[in-house]
Amino acid sequence: MTKVIILIFLVVILNSCKEKNTRKDEQVIITFHSIEDALKKPLQTLKLDLSGQELKYLTPSIDKLQNLIFLDLRNNKLDSLPESIGNLNDLLELDLSYNQIENLPKSIGSLKRLSMLDLENNSLKKLPSSIGSLTNLTKLYVSDNKLSIIPKSFCELNNLIELEMSDNKIKKLPSGFSELINLTLLDLSNNRLINLPDSIGDLKKLITLNLSHNTLNRLPKSINNFLKLTNFYLSENRLPETEIEKIRSYLPNCRIQLEPETLILFKEK
Task: List Cβ<8 Å contacts ≥24 apart for 225-234.
Answer: 225/201, 226/201, 226/251, 226/254, 228/184, 228/204, 229/254, 230/254, 230/255, 231/207, 231/255, 231/257, 232/256, 232/257, 233/189, 233/209, 233/257, 233/261, 233/264, 234/258
* pLDDT at residue 57 is higher than 50: yes
pTM: 0.87
pLDDT at 27 over 90: no
Q: Given phi > 0 = left and psi -120 to 50 = alpha, else beta, which region is 167?
A: left
pLDDT tens-digit readout, 58-93 = 999 999 999 999 999 999 999 999 999 999 999 999
Domains of the chain with bracketed CATH? 30-137 (3.80.10.10), 169-269 (3.80.10.10)
Residue partners of 184: CB distance under 8 A and separation at least 6: 161, 162, 205, 206, 207, 208, 228
What's the whole-number average pLDDT of the chain? 90
Q: What integer pLDDT is reported at residue 175 of this predicted model?
A: 87
Percentage of the chain lying above the pLDDT 90 cut? 84
Instruction: Band the pLDDT of 3: cuts 50, 70, 90.
Output: very low
Spell out the residues 6+ positions from residue 174 whose beta carbon is closer than 8 angstroms to its own.
150, 151, 152, 154, 155
Q: Which residue, among 216, 176, 184, has the nearest Cα to 200 in the 3D structure?
A: 176
pLDDT for residue 135: 97
Q: Is the pLDDT of residue 137 over 60?
A: yes
pLDDT in tens, 157-215: 999 999 999 999 999 999 899 999 999 999 999 999 999 999 999 999 999 999 999 99
